[in-house]
Homo-oligomer: A and B are copies of this chain.
Amino acid sequence: MDTTQLLKGVLDLAVLAVVADEDGYGYDVVRRLRAAGIEEVGDASVYGTLRRLYASGALTSYVVPSDEGPHRKYYGINAQGRAVLDAQRKDWDEFARTMSRLLGTEAGR
């Protein structure tokens, strides 16, 4: 039941994709990922990933005070982030195709 291991190295990609679609703050990104089908993702993982991506220069960040709760730290994608997203998306596609071929499911053909 270790679906958690499948996320390794892919959470970056998933988070980038979500943020690329529209700027988002941590709590919101968690909800969007879960809504997209990645139900098992832990909130700490997402917050950590966002911070890591920001530290690596792939995301911008700005704080917006909210009048219905704590402040929200928004993250947006920049040019470098988009480059990373494209590269990782390509890697993923290729890898997924390879795995599908290996597993004998014809999904990758």
Contacts and interface: CB of A to CB of B under 8 A. Distances in A.
Q: How many copies does the complex hold?
A: 2
Residue among A96, A98, A104 with the highest chain B CB neighbour number at 10 A:
A96
Interface size class of A (residues with CB under 8 A): 20 to 34
A45 to B, nearest CB: 13
Contact of A38 (B13, B38, B98, B104): B98
B37 A6 contact: no
10 contacts: A3-B91, A6-B9, A6-B10, A6-B95, A8-B9, A18-B102, A92-B99, A92-B103, A93-B105, A97-B107
Interface of A: 2-10, 13-14, 17-18, 36-38, 89, 91-93, 95-105, 107-108
